[in-house]
Copies of this chain bind each other. A is one copy, B any other.
Amino acid sequence: MSGWLADNRERVFADLTRFLSIASISTDPQFKPKIADAQRFLLAHLEASRFENRRLIEGDGHAAVYADWLHAPGKPTLLVYGHYDVQPPDPLEAWTSPPFTPTVRDGRLYARGASDDKCPLFVALTAASALLAADGALPVNLKLLIEGEEEVGSKNLESYVRANRALLAADFVLSADGARWRADLPAVNVASRGIATLEFALTTAAKDLHSGRYGGAVANPLNAIARLVASLHEPSGRIAVEGFYDGVAEPTNAERAAIADLPFDEAAYIAAVGASGPVGEAGYSTLERQWLRPSLDLNGLWGGYQGTGSKTVIPHEARAKLSSRLVPGQDPARIVALLQRHLETHCPPGAKVEMKAGHGSPAYALPPDHPALAVAEAVLAEVHGRRPVRVRIGATLPISDMFKRVLGIDTIMFSYSTADEDFHAPNEFFRLSSFDDGFAAWQSFLRRAGALAPQDFRAFRR
């Protein structure tokens, strides 16, 4: 079947180049016409690929593109997820070639959206259309959901999915979005941390005060917020918020052994970001801290004078934004409530605290015996000649949790982008070799999934 790609490569890459040339930036309303261009491009491309039932799923935001091919009775139904929107390309002057002029250099295809998510999506679409072209049929039922708001937090996706439950019903989600852990190691991602965010302000007076006239006699909100923030962690790095670890399971020996067995060069990892060393909760390794343990980080902290020189002011307020990464067993709303109680009870004398909860999403874990996970592992072993490792991700993938809640199904991350491809940064690229690997892997995945039956997934539906 690599013969098919060899025979059709020119046409496939011409199409991909057209797709990458569309500045489908979702964060900026002035690019709305380009969003529409991308939708039209996909609808036409899916028609040419013989997908059926093509349509836009419309609502408050940018429409999602839907299409399907459902002529494999008795076979599983896969919902393929991807997105056609991209990040803004700023700063433009940092790009070697223009962001919407796709350019190949040294085996890499440079363009905004190349890695996130247009090439990985095109890998999936090309693999399916090649099967349809060659065999006249697919080994499974396939539904495609390609959204246009991933880069703005998929803010309308849940309502689109809720409104189209029957249309989108499937046995599992196969995601063409999300990055592989590393280019040098086949891996399948089986879990991601959740998130809970909160911002708060401390107020100590009605106006800024002179530090000479008032210093030492009234509360200083900067000193107070420092004390309050410091109270969130024990010196050991453990989070000091009462009840925070309720429901959090200690890593099992097997989990710890599996992580310890992974090839991971901690020194190189730390050096790559210019840090002086790993820092975190005592008793855990770096990967355990990132994958298995919750965290609590300030993302912003500010108050008072930030200009040149000194200004002898006691400001009257200080502000902070914080976010907590969650693990299974932690409910985002409960974590926010615990944080709020902590901030209230630990608020230093003379300061008033006001808080505003942000967004939340729980951790997600793929059941270790999910049949699609076994398929993914077999495929990766076949394509890369090496059994993949199971890895987790410290970041949050809210769509996995959303699909589980709304459609009751699990998500397998099967993107062929890698974490080093500068997505969200200038000179984003996609490795051309990943296109061929991904094409082979997606075809293999669809074939192997065709050997399963819908009832194989019944136990995993919720």
Contact = CB atoms under 8 A, between A and B. Distances in A.
Interface stretch (A11-19, A64-72, A100-108, A299-307): A299-307
Nearest to A220: B297
Given A275-B350, A295-B215, A304 B310 contact: no
Contacts of A230: 223, 226-227, 229-231
A323 B276 CA distance: 29
A301 B216 contact: no
| A-B CB proximity, top 3 nearest | A206-B274, A212-B395, A216-B295
Contacts of A219: 275-276, 279
8 contacts: A205-B275, A215-B394, A218-B278, A220-B297, A226-B298, A230-B231, A279-B350, A299-B310
A39 B141 CA distance: 90
A394 B312 CA distance: 12
Given A215-B394, A286-B217, A393-B213, A312 B323 contact: yes
Interface in A259-282: 270, 273-281
A279 B348 CA distance: 10
A312 B225 CA distance: 20
A294 interface: yes
Contacts of A279: 204, 217-219, 348-350
A141 to B, nearest CB: 33
Interface string A199-219: 100001111011111111111
Contacts of A175: none
Given A211-B323, A211-B325, A223-B298, 19 more contacts: A192-B212, A205-B273, A205-B274, A217-B279, A217-B290, A219-B279, A220-B298, A222-B297, A222-B298, A226-B226, A227-B229, A276-B352, A277-B350, A300-B311, A302-B302, A304-B321, A310-B321, A310-B358, A312-B323
B276 A213 contact: no
Nearest to A206: B274
Interface in A304-335: 304-306, 309-316, 318-321, 323, 325
A77 to B, nearest CB: 31
Contact of A299 (B278, B314, B325, B419): B314
A140 interface: no
A371 to B, nearest CB: 28
A214 B195 CA distance: 13
A223 B216 contact: no
A209 B225 CA distance: 23
A350 B276 contact: yes
Q: Specify how many copies of this chain sit in the oligomer.
A: 2
A76 to B, nearest CB: 31
Interface string A345-381: 0001111100000110000000000000000000000
A223 B232 contact: yes
A396 B215 CA distance: 11
A293 interface: yes
Contact of A304 (B204, B299, B393): B299
Nearest to A281: B216
Contact of A226 (B225, B293, B325): B225
A354 to B, nearest CB: 14
Nearest to A304: B300
Contacts of A319: 306
Given A212-B394, A396-B212, A206 B280 contact: no
Contact of A274 (B207, B274, B277, B395): B207
A375 B97 CA distance: 79
B270 A218 contact: yes
Contact of A298 (B216, B229, B295, B304): B304
Contact of A204 (B275, B293, B318, B321): B275
A229 B310 CA distance: 17
A199 B309 CA distance: 9
B302 A301 contact: yes
Given A205-B275, A207-B273, A304-B299, A290 B216 contact: yes
A83 interface: no
